[in-house]
A and B are shown apart, each in its own frame.
Chain A
């Protein structure tokens, strides 16, 4: 039952397959017949094309050799000979040399003018029109007679190709006339190489194809190729014959080819019978295969199932292996990431600390005299670059710095990124401090070259703090703290330097920590006060302004110098808050004093505050608005370092102040890297001469000249000048005489409290100005 069920569709398939097979055989026969007739047509076309190809190549070959002959007849050597001969020179005295040259020319051309490795010319002969040979590359060759010299001479013919019998053999001669001054002088006769002609005319023939090709000339045919067997003559009328004339009159290409019909076997009755008989065994075989196939079906199904299961198992195994590999890779990556900094690729803080602990442990194990050097390195101006140019820029700088440090470590130590712009360099087996010093100097030198970052080039120096095991600590963390303290010292000492840890640093660091918290508290509780130092017009002695100066008195520590707490505020970021408080106090105070006297109030702004320049600008304008102080009464004092840091778009940042009328003064002019370009680039209205220039005005001629120069320059640029730190009359007199407008200093008044300053203003309005008249 089951057997019948699956036999039935297969029988149908068998009948269908038989019908398809028979239809296929019939189609095959039809296609064969069609192919036969198309092939025959194609052959006819192909042969026509082949013969015309031969004709074209032959024409090309002849015109090519003719062009070479023409070039030879126009060669300067040939012309020289005929010129010298025309002058009547004798062979013995002179002409012989020209003739020798001409013979040499012909010889070289006969040998060197080749086509496919064979010479084109068999022989070259120069003869005059009386058939006297002037030069001959084969003097022993047959004498050339009965050439159409006279005909060519009289017709002024330039070239001709002739065929002639030479001892029964057909030869082709190509003739070219030598003209000199438009007169025919001689004929250059070239015997063409027969092998070249047979080569051209047989290039497309195959020995197994019966064909024959020849060059027909007026003197008979030159046979180039003959592959007809003796059984059938080439001139049998059943053959295909083509004749095509060449460009040279009387010359033609003749070709005979065996037609394809003779080779036809596709349509023979034997072929048909064989195809028909073939159908039976094919059908039988097909049926037999069907039966075999159905019997094996059950077994095949089972085997197939097993194979599928096996395959799926193998797939799962493969997936498992891949998963394991993936896990291993990600674990490795995690381990790497855990110990390495992704940006610079250096070991990270944790790895650095661990490594340091290992170095220390190793040194401990090694025993006495084994030292480990720890360097704490910090990029000096990284924060500034990062803030002003953007994080991308900062990141590039970090990557390049890491690379330089890596080169500097030179395989001797280890470099790790501690965090931010801080790096650790650990080096064991250190001989002494001198080696550490040399190492630090080497690292500083590494940073002398500028960094080429995308879109710019910057200079970045580093400061280095160093601590040594076991001298400065026996634990990793202690060493790191102390190296950090040493770094701090190095920064204090002016950056781009290095420093070793010493015990006094602990005290310093403690005070810094203390001051840090006290300053936060003081700002919170607004304990900072502002004092005012009067600024006077030097010619009248009247107070025209004041410089606001911050003061801090801690209940426990007493007075703390701004020189101590301002840098601290700059470092820990409190400077913004501090600056705002000072500005607000100074502005509101000055606004009140405007009723007494039109005063200018000068407020110092740290370059750190400019890191958020636009916000600063906005706050200043808001403060003016809130306190009611006219913008023109406020002068912002900045130091040259601000300009040196060269904030991006600083000029644009300052613009709103200028637009509102806020004055801008450059403080401590001349003490830093003063460049005249700043004065022009930024909208300054005032500059302040530092007191160091005034101290030795009486004794130092260079100082005098410098002050005079600054004054002259300021005058030329239309800037007002304030001299700082005037302590003596003679200083005031000197400055006044040289056109300095304003001054401040102990000669007039130290910085005083707001109440005291107000008292001074009252006093001035009641009395005459004090010092100015006395020295006037």
Chain B
């Protein structure tokens, strides 16, 4: 997900440069081609890719979601493996890298996919750069500490904002592991305003390497996104504890090219349909069974 941030920056920067959308491909062309190409990057239970005799295959929540969408459109599904570095080029048709906080645009390349679905977090300021679908999954960032830490988990007050304040107060004089350019970027949560001692890894890490890092005593605690926390709690029982929230509920969306509004519209309709007929919840229960417990409002919104 942290890489999603960097590639969205890229995409934004690239769009601002005003390249002509010569590769524009919307719903009609996709139906004509008969195949929907899903760009995915391995992340939590959203996309897990593996190599098989038939090439790179993938499974996970987003894979099944987009496969169902392809069936809905009446086209074939194809998985396009990507890394966060290459996903931009594969979606937009122009290679680009992000280095030292700057966007460097590269050679034009063939468009390889029609959408990116890989647990990409949706933030208001990002929406001005690319198109997102309606939110299809919730997330949040919590503070996780080693179990031997003297930081005690907060007692929930019922108000997330108050809980966040309580957690930030606990951070004072503590080492907190975070990561730039990701959803764990300290600046997203104004950690500079706390007295926390923010530790940034020298090398680029994967999100699933944050917990091993604090177990390795790189820091006493770390920021971590909820999908990864759920996995970590099963993987290292009794070795880590959740102190409390650092962010309010965040939402994830499927990323579309600016030039494919009809495809995006079709996806939103599809999403509404599967949420209504129960298919969506079946998918959630398969891949993230405990998520509804933490985000009841997202999965079962109060009736107006």
Q: Using a CB–CB distance below 8 Å, which chain A residues touch chain B?
A: 76, 79-80, 83-84, 86-101, 104
CB of A93 within 8 A of CB of B245, answer yes
Q: Are B238 and A90 in contact (CB under 8 A)?
A: no
27 A-B contacts, Cβ less than 8 Å apart? A79-B237, A79-B238, A80-B238, A83-B237, A83-B238, A84-B241, A87-B147, A87-B238, A87-B241, A88-B152, A88-B241, A90-B242, A92-B163, A92-B294, A93-B153, A93-B156, A93-B294, A94-B153, A94-B233, A94-B242, A95-B242, A96-B294, A97-B230, A97-B233, A97-B234, A100-B289, A100-B293
How many Å from the CB of A322 to the closest CB on chain B? Answer: 68
User: What residues on A are CB-neighbors of B238 within 8 Å?
Assistant: 79-80, 83-84, 86-87
The contact of A89 among B163, B230, B241, B293, by CB within 8 Å, is B241
A83 to B244 alpha-carbon distance, docked (Å): 17
B290 touches A96 (CB 8 A): yes
A90–B142 Cα distance when bound, in Å, is 12
- A93 and B237 within 8 A (CB): no
- Tell me, rounded to whole Å, the shortest Cβ–Cβ distance linking B247 to chain A: 12
Q: How far is the CA of A24 from the CA of B289 in the complex (A)?
A: 82
Distance to closest chain B CB from A746 (angstroms): 80
B44 to chain A, nearest CB (A): 13
Q: Contact: A97 with B290, CB < 8 Å?
A: yes
Known contacts A87-B241, A104-B289; is A98 also within 8 Å of B233 by CB? yes
Contacts of A97 in B (CB 8 A): 229-230, 233-234, 290, 293-294
Q: Nearest A residue to B154 by beta-carbon distance?
A: A90
Bound together, the chains give a CA A95 to CA B156 distance in angstroms of 12
Q: Shortest distance in angstroms between A179's beta carbon and chain B's nearest beta carbon?
A: 14
B99 within 8 A of partner (CB)? no
The interface bits of chain B over 225-254 (1 if a CB of A lies within 8 angstroms of the residue's CB, else 0) are 000011001100110011111000000000
B155 at the interface (CB under 8 A from A): yes
Closest to A79 in B: B237
Known: A88-B153, A89-B241. A94 touches B289 (CB 8 A): no
Nearest chain B residue, comparing its CB with the CB of A98: B233
Considering the complex, give the chain B residue whose CB is closest to the CB of A93: B242
- Report the minimum CB–CB distance from B119 to chain A (whole Å): 17
* Given contact pairs A84-B241, A100-B290, A100-B293, A93 touches B142 in the complex (Cβ within 8 A): yes
- What residues of chain A lie closer than 8 Å to B163, measured between beta carbons? 92-93
In the complex formed, the residue of A with least CB distance to B156 is A92
On whether A90 and B153 interact (CB within 8 A), knowing A84-B241, A96-B293, A100-B290, the answer reads: yes
A215 to B177, CA, bound (A): 62
**B156 & A80 in contact (Cβ 8 Å cutoff):** no
Q: Is the CB of A84 within 8 A of B289?
A: no
Apart from the given pairs A84-B237, A88-B153, A95-B242, 20 other A-B contacts in the complex at a CB distance below 8 Å: A76-B237, A79-B238, A83-B237, A83-B238, A84-B238, A84-B241, A88-B152, A89-B242, A90-B154, A90-B156, A92-B156, A93-B156, A93-B294, A94-B241, A96-B293, A97-B230, A97-B233, A97-B293, A99-B293, A101-B290
Point out the residues of chain A lying under 8 angstroms from B244, CB to CB: 90, 93
Asked if B234 and A101 sit within 8 Å, CB to CB, the answer is yes
State how many angstroms separate the Cβ of B153 from the closest Cβ of chain A: 5
Which residues of B have CB within 8 Å of A98?
Answer: 233, 237
- Write the B125-158 contact mask toward A (1 if CB under 8 angstroms, else 0): 0000000000000000010000100001111100
**Interface of chain B residues 156 through 189 with chain A (CB within 8 A):** 156, 163
Q: Which residues of A contact B294 (CB under 8 A)?
A: 92-93, 96-97
Note all chain A residues with C-beta closer than 8 A to B147. 83, 87
CB distance from B249 to the nearest CB of A (A): 12
Residues of A within 8 A of B289 (CB): 100, 104
Among A86, A92, A93, A99, chain B packs the most CB atoms within 10 A around the CB of A93
- B residues near A87, Cβ cutoff 8 Å: 147, 153, 238, 241
What is the bound-complex CA distance between A86 and B290, given in angstroms?
20
Query: Distance (Å) between the CB of B152 and the closest chain A CB?
Result: 5
Point out the residues of chain A lying under 8 angstroms from B152, CB to CB: 88
* Measured CA separation A640–B27 after assembly (Å): 89
Contact: A94 with B142, CB < 8 Å? yes
Contact B237 A80 (CB under 8 A): yes
How far is it, in angstroms, between the C-alpha of A97 and the C-alpha of B142 when the chains are bound? Answer: 14
Which chain B residues (265-303) contact chain A, with CB distance < 8 Å?
Answer: 289-290, 293-294
B153: which A residues are within 8 A, CB to CB? 87-90, 93-94
CA distance A684 to B153 in the complex (A): 101
B241 cross-chain contacts in A, Cβ below 8 A: 84, 87-89, 94
Q: Smallest CB-CB separation from B146: which chain A residue?
A: A87
Across the interface, name the chain B residue whose C-beta is closest to A90: B156
Interface hub of A80, A94, A96 (most chain B Cβ within 10 A): A94
Query: CA of A91 to CA of B293 in the docked complex: distance in angstroms?
Result: 9
For the complex, what is the distance from the CA of A156 to the CA of B32, rounded to whole Å? 71
With a cutoff of 8 Å between Cβ atoms, the chain A residues found around residue B290 in the complex are 96-97, 100-101
Cα A87 to Cα B153 with chains together (Å): 8
| CB-defined contacts of A80 to chain B, threshold 8 Å | 233-234, 237-238
- Nearest CB in chain B: distance from A30 CB, A: 77
Residue of B nearest to A83 (CB): B238
- Alpha-carbon separation in the docked complex, A84 to B243 (Å): 11
Complex alpha-carbon distance, A99 and B290, angstroms? 9
- With a CB–CB cut-off of 8 A, which chain A residues contact B242? 89-90, 93-95
Inter-chain contact A94/B237, CB cutoff 8 Å: no
> Which of chain B's residues have a CB closer than 8 A to the CB of A83?
147, 237-238
**How far does the Cβ of B240 sit from chain A's closest Cβ, in whole Å?**
8
Query: Residue among A76, A87, A88, A90 with the most chain B CB within 10 A?
Result: A87
A94: chain B residues at CB < 8 Å are 142, 153, 229, 233, 241-242
Q: Which residues of the other chain, A, contact B243 by a CB distance below 8 angstroms?
A: 93
A100 contacts across to B, CB distance below 8 A: 289-290, 293
Q: Are A84 and B233 in contact, CB atoms less than 8 angstroms apart?
A: yes
Task: Provide the residues of chain B in CB contact with A101, threshold 8 Å.
Answer: 234, 290
Q: Which residue of A lies closest to B241 (CB)?
A: A87
CA A86 to CA B237, docked complex, whole Å: 11
